[in-house]
Chain A
Amino acid sequence: MEQFIAVLIDGIIYSAWLFVAAIGLTLIYGVMKIVNVAHGSFYALGAYAAASITGALLAHGMPPYLSYAVLLGSALLVTVIVAPLIERGILRFMYAKDEVVILLITYALFLIFEDVIKLIWGVNPYFVAEPYGLLGSFDIGDLTYPYYNLILVGVAIVCGAGLYWMLKHTRTGKLLVAVIHDTEVSRAMGINVDRLYLITFTFGSLLAAIGGAYTAPTISVVPGLGVEVIVLSFAVVVIGGLGSLPGAALGAVIVGLVRSATVHYLPEAELFVIYLVMAMVLAFRPRGLFSIAEARKI
């Protein structure tokens, strides 16, 4: 029983991490039809900004409990500077091009960001471990978990619920839904699609940066951080259905629980189990579990 509970807890923690990383990816695809490989770079930028800014402020005597707010502030800061620059400076000139071309452009951006990160932060690791242990731990049977893991789950819930609420209950959200459904008609109806693209790209990237920022206290922030995340995020959104918010949530939960159960019960299969799930889902639902029906255009 204890092991089953451990599977659930570990699975939920992993799902939360995956969901925050993947949700922005699915939002950007849903609205802009961009498979954004550079999403992993924003995750890495968030982690680097959080580790360096929070670490520096803690070293200068900042009360440790403020670090949770600084993690968020670091993600905001780096995204507000970088994301609009990328969208206005590069991507907006590419929207007319084929989706595959834009995918290659975001891949190029990903590679460029890897070098930019190396130029700014070097290759040595950054740590900001204080927030992880600050809140203490709780025990379930023989297992100990830091309370910080609950913060990660909370961040995932707030991000998912917030985005859902925004799409359903705000004017901007409703405009985004219109753009998701049909960009051309939205333009014809007077919606400023370019502005919505900027908002979407910035907000989607912010979600990745938040994921990186709140993961930073649990990891060593090193070059190449975004690679693993982007691969797993793609697996999640492909399982859920590209562009679907509930799909990303379900995809993250499936991947998280399956991986956790495998680690506990069949560790030798851990390496490929996520991709096995992805392959099985795609075999029966080629567009993912929550694929959005598209109107046929004549």
Chain B
Amino acid sequence: MNAIKKAVAAAAVAALIPGVAAAQDAPLKIGVVSFLSGPAAGPFGVPARNAAEITFEMLNNGKVPAPYATKGFGGHKLDMNLVDESGGTTTQVTEYRNMVQRDNVDMVIGYISSGSCLGIAPVAEELKKLTVFFDCGTPRIFEERSYKYVFRTAATATMDSVGAALYVRDLRKGKIKSIAGINQNYAWGQDSWSDFEASMKQLVPGVKVATSQMPKIFAGQYNAEISTVLADKPTVVHSSLWGGDLEALILQASPRGLFRRSTVILTTGETAMYKLAGSLPDGVVIGARGPYGPYAPHNALNTWFSKVFKDRYGVPPNYAAYQMAQAILGTKAAWEKAQAANGGKRPSQDQVIAAFEHLTFKSPAGTVQMANGGGHQAITGTAYGVTKKVHGKMTVAHIKRYPAAMVNPPDGMKAKDWIANGFKK
């Protein structure tokens, strides 16, 4: 009888071994979420989707330069499960649950909208699924709560706003009397303006706020806002408008002379500067939400990424594309670090999370440190410059770079407190 039991057990173990081996070799199914329709698709969603597509393809073929030369994630093939981010937060929560519970993805990389990120983060925690935000900017994600399963591999809007304030302070040294803002009336626009306003008040004591305009997102018509700003004659105008709203603002403000009368800073201007080169005069301050696009450093990863992207899609990658590649490569770095710590075997999700926390990794935009949010929130340096046409071609000039520690709050400190405290701990 014992012999029969042993034989059955042995047969069962033998039957399981190929399954175990298959699970070890199974491809990684990665949910990728980006805007594929709606107003954010053109400027951000599709470039990010393209970046995901080409990065996964290159990783699967082992064609990415060091330190990402191994195929896939630690030799495991990557399958992309693409989802459209449009439709609002409720739709996104449903889509997220479908990805995790129905499609059984191993992890999710995505989300451009701050609203999406704020909605998805608690659900990721509830479903215990590794989720990497690649673009959304609101600092509230890790300031209001700590998360185990959620990471963000791009810096927050605080970095954009503090960098913008430092840049215009230096550009208009001693001449800044008042500032004005045109920002969208939701999390991204409100956070961007409040950080910029607070930073300017620290950097230029006595600066006045002429007006803060908060038009509805996708309003598209800004004549009244532009009139108000023109009438108030501020030295500096800050805008974090993006996509079609940013482009409409540029088109409507340019013939009205806004760019000539004030120093205008467009924190996401990189996505529009080439398309609307004819409407942007020299001297407009352009941001790229970090060291991306024209501000990306010279390194092997950037040379590879910008070339393969342009060869495939005919246009250079914008910052959303860079941030998507950064998120994928950061996740790969964490996964392979966990795999190495696991003796070369496929790591568990908890092992990947442990490896991801406080990770420092290389991306086409330089070094990324998962330094904030308990090791879940990235910080990077940033750069700003001004538009300058050279032989009719749009470029950026007077580029200034700011190291990560200069434009991001220290870990555990809220952005508002850090700025209010004179950028000190």
Contact = CB atoms under 8 A, between A and B. Distances in A.
Contacts of B227: 6, 9-10, 143, 264
A123 B37 contact: yes
Interface in A104-132: 114-115, 118, 122-125, 127, 129, 132
B230 interface: yes
Main secondary structure of the interface of A (DSSP, over half): helix
Contact of B224 (A14, A125, A132, A268): A14
B254 interface: yes
Interface stretch (B41-49, B105-113, B342-350, B404-412): B41-49
A197 to B, nearest CB: 31
A271 B183 CA distance: 12
B213 interface: yes
B279 interface: yes
Interface in B365-385: none
A3 interface: yes
B418 to A, nearest CB: 26
Q: For chain B, which range describes its interface: under 10, 10 to 19, 20 to 34, or 35 or more residues?
A: 35 or more
- The residue in A10, A132, A259 that gathers the most chain B C-beta atoms within 10 A of its C-beta is A10
B256 A114 contact: no
B278 A129 contact: yes
Given A132-B251, A271-B216, A123 B224 contact: no
Interface stretch (A85-93, A144-152, A286-294): A144-152
B57 interface: no
B46 A123 contact: yes
Interface stretch (B166-174, B196-204, B241-249, B294-302): B241-249
A217 B215 CA distance: 20
Given A14-B224, A271-B216, A118 B256 contact: no
Given A123-B36, A137-B255, A142-B231, A270 B220 contact: no
Contact of A114 (B37, B230, B251, B275): B37
B248 A218 contact: yes
Given A217-B251, A224-B218, A225-B244, 16 more contacts: A3-B231, A6-B224, A114-B37, A123-B46, A125-B244, A127-B276, A129-B278, A137-B256, A137-B257, A144-B230, A144-B255, A145-B223, A146-B255, A219-B251, A219-B252, A271-B185
5 A-B pairs with the lowest CB-CB distances in the bound complex, closest first: A220-B247, A123-B41, A263-B224, A222-B244, A10-B224
Interface of A: 2-3, 6-7, 9-11, 13-14, 17, 114-115, 118, 122-125, 127, 129, 132-133, 137, 142-146, 149, 217-220, 222-225, 227-228, 259-260, 263-264, 267-268, 270-271
Interface of B: 36-39, 41-43, 45-46, 185, 211-216, 218-221, 223-225, 227-228, 230-231, 233, 243-244, 246-248, 251-252, 254-257, 275-276, 278-279
30 contacts: A3-B231, A10-B223, A14-B221, A14-B224, A114-B37, A122-B42, A123-B42, A123-B45, A125-B42, A125-B247, A133-B255, A137-B255, A142-B230, A142-B231, A144-B230, A218-B251, A219-B221, A219-B248, A220-B246, A220-B248, A222-B243, A222-B247, A223-B37, A223-B38, A223-B39, A224-B37, A225-B220, A225-B244, A264-B228, A270-B214
